[in-house]
A and B are shown apart, each in its own frame.
Chain A
Amino acid sequence: MSAVLESRAAGPTLRQKLAARGIDGATLLVLPCVALILGLFIYPFLYGLMLSFEPKDGSLFGNYARFFSDPFLYGTIFKTLRLAFPVTLLNLLIAIPIAFRVRLMRRQRLLTTLLVLPITLGTVLVAEGMLFYFGPQGWFNRAMMAVGLLSTPISVLNGYWGVFISLVLTGFPFTFLLTLSYVTGIDPSLENAAATLGAGPAARFREVFLPLLVPGLAITFCLSFVQAYSVLPSAVLVGDPANATRVISIAAYQAAFEEYDYSMASAIAMIMGAVQLLVVVAVLGCRSLFYRGPAAGAKG
């Protein structure tokens, strides 16, 4: 805003100078949007960061010291990672072969639409449905027993596997659609060239597709991981929120809305963000060990 005032004060020359640098009336349209993000995203984040250093006991690092000395609190990091890592990896490993198969289909839209369903339904509804579907009298156990695969109903609810399944159900479509958009972005003529030179399907995947896909897969892994990492509703509804699936977001939520200790809650949110950032940086760091270059082929 000060730029505008200055330009009025100094006359048209400064205005023209600013316009030459790309700042004119139209550029200012970006300001409301920037103000919103500064006010509702950056400011709360910094406020939370400051707040986390003002614990109830008055010391600077009191919250962080408490978090890393109490196994009930620092254990949540490992519980979260123990869920988020295997789920993300499994989703990615299933998504790759399926994306390669679907890539060849003409009518992808029906399948992708079906897969979008759980994303729009959200974790709360999936957890609600699981309570019945995977329950002891639910269709899953009934069907398994009718086929003879199970003799007694298995209970996946109220524990690690309940959350695991709910994360696969809501996370797989997300991972798949991202993977599909990367896989379809690779020029098919590259595969044809490799086939002409005598490479079999496995070799084509290993030598041609995989190196081209690694950057995209790393990003897919990060985005899917972030989704699985911040799980809250399913960990509470179909998990064991007091024990096995007490993930870090539950700890943060309880600190804020059950103990009303916003300082501690902010500290946990900051730790949550930091751990996530570490994983993302590590994964993207590994990416740079692989080939980086165009995947779409030369277009002359």
Chain B
Amino acid sequence: MQKSFLSRLWIFAVWAVIGLFLVNLMGLIASVLTSSFGTRWLGTWLPAGFTTRWYFAAWDEFQLGDVLWVTFQAVGAVVLLSGLLGVPAAYALARREFPAKRAVMLLLLLPLLVPPITYGIPLATVLYKAGLGGTLTGVILANLVPTVPFVVLVMIPFIEQIDPRTEAAARVFGANIFQMFVHVLVPMLMPGVLAALLLVLVRTIGMFELTFLVSGPGSQTLVVALYYAVFASGVRAVQSIDAMAVIYMATTLVWLIVALRFVNPTQIVGRGKRPAA
């Protein structure tokens, strides 16, 4: 079929917009990367020379060892707890019809629909009043608010796919609900659990607002430390901030690549509510 000139022009325009977006995005990422390895970069296309010393400088200046350890602890605890709380709740919601079910579903949707900064400020106030503000516990608790409902909503369709007779058989053979979970359900649900928890992982590493509002000097995660470094730039060399940004990028990208082996990219924004396909 011969396409008209106008429709070709239209197709070209659409691809041009995609291209423009990707070129600028890649340029942006590449310039951070180049700057972090550059020696002196003033008024030229590329820096005068290349070095890795900014990484050592950033590591010392921003105490990245501590920050990474805090990030690891916070993200690990959030992933573990949201799995432990979210998967059983998803099971109950997928398998049982009970009077307040609609209210519970609405309750779980709310934290995903209200942006973190809106509920983060009252939440931070309450956590500070309770003496948890500025602590690692506070950071973990705050981050659980969006992740637990997310796990529940992602897991419900996975659980609904499993034949209920499998569980009935386990119960007939004398397994209690805990044994049934550990020996029957969890192994069958593993792909779903893995997908949900990886998404939680990627989101928690990148979760700025809640961690920013709740964390204190000793409980900053990498993304918050990066924000403060950029915010107070001028004190430190630009390149060491860029080096820190690259380290942050690397931590998220590794997990993103792992996550993409198990999940569809649209799930990352899908908030667990998949539209009918």
Contacts and interface: CB of A to CB of B under 8 A. Distances in A.
Interface stretch (B54-62, B72-80, B90-98, B188-196): B90-98
A232 B117 contact: yes
B242 A132 contact: yes
A77 interface: no
18 contacts: A21-B99, A22-B98, A32-B89, A36-B144, A37-B148, A41-B119, A44-B122, A117-B29, A117-B256, A123-B208, A132-B35, A133-B28, A137-B42, A177-B270, A181-B274, A226-B113, A257-B213, A276-B114
B32 A129 contact: yes
Given A37-B145, A44-B123, A262-B128, 11 more contacts: A22-B97, A24-B96, A36-B144, A44-B126, A48-B122, A98-B18, A113-B265, A116-B256, A120-B253, A177-B269, A269-B118
A90 to B, nearest CB: 11
A236 B231 contact: yes
Contacts of A37: 107-108, 110-111, 145, 148-149
Interface in A196-246: 201, 216, 223, 226-227, 229-230, 232-233, 236-237
Contacts of A44: 119, 122-123, 125-126
Contacts of A47: 122, 125-126
A27 B92 contact: yes
B276 to A, nearest CB: 6
Interface residues of A, number: 97
Contacts of A117: 25, 29, 253, 256
Interface of B: 7, 10-11, 14-15, 17-18, 21-22, 24-25, 27-32, 35, 42-43, 45, 85-86, 88-89, 91-93, 95-99, 101, 104, 107-108, 110-111, 113-119, 121-126, 128, 141-142, 144-145, 148-149, 152, 177, 202, 206, 208-209, 212-213, 223, 226-227, 230-231, 233, 238, 241-242, 245, 248-249, 252-253, 256, 260, 265-266, 268-271, 274-277
A137 B38 CA distance: 15
Given A48-B122, A128-B245, A177-B265, A233 B35 contact: no
Interface of A: 21-30, 32-34, 36-38, 40-45, 47-49, 51, 94, 97-98, 101, 109, 111-133, 137-140, 142-143, 169, 172-174, 177-178, 180-182, 184-185, 201, 216, 223, 226-227, 229-230, 232-233, 236-237, 249, 252-253, 256-257, 262, 265-266, 268-269, 272-273, 276, 295-296
A249 B125 CA distance: 15
Contacts, number: 262
B268 A201 contact: no
A45 B122 contact: yes
B242 to A, nearest CB: 7
Main SS class of interface, B: helix
Contacts of A45: 119, 122
Query: Which of A37, A98, A265, A269 has most B Cβ within 10 Å?
Result: A37
A132 to B, nearest CB: 5
Query: Which of B148, B242, B270 has most A Cβ within 10 Å?
Result: B148
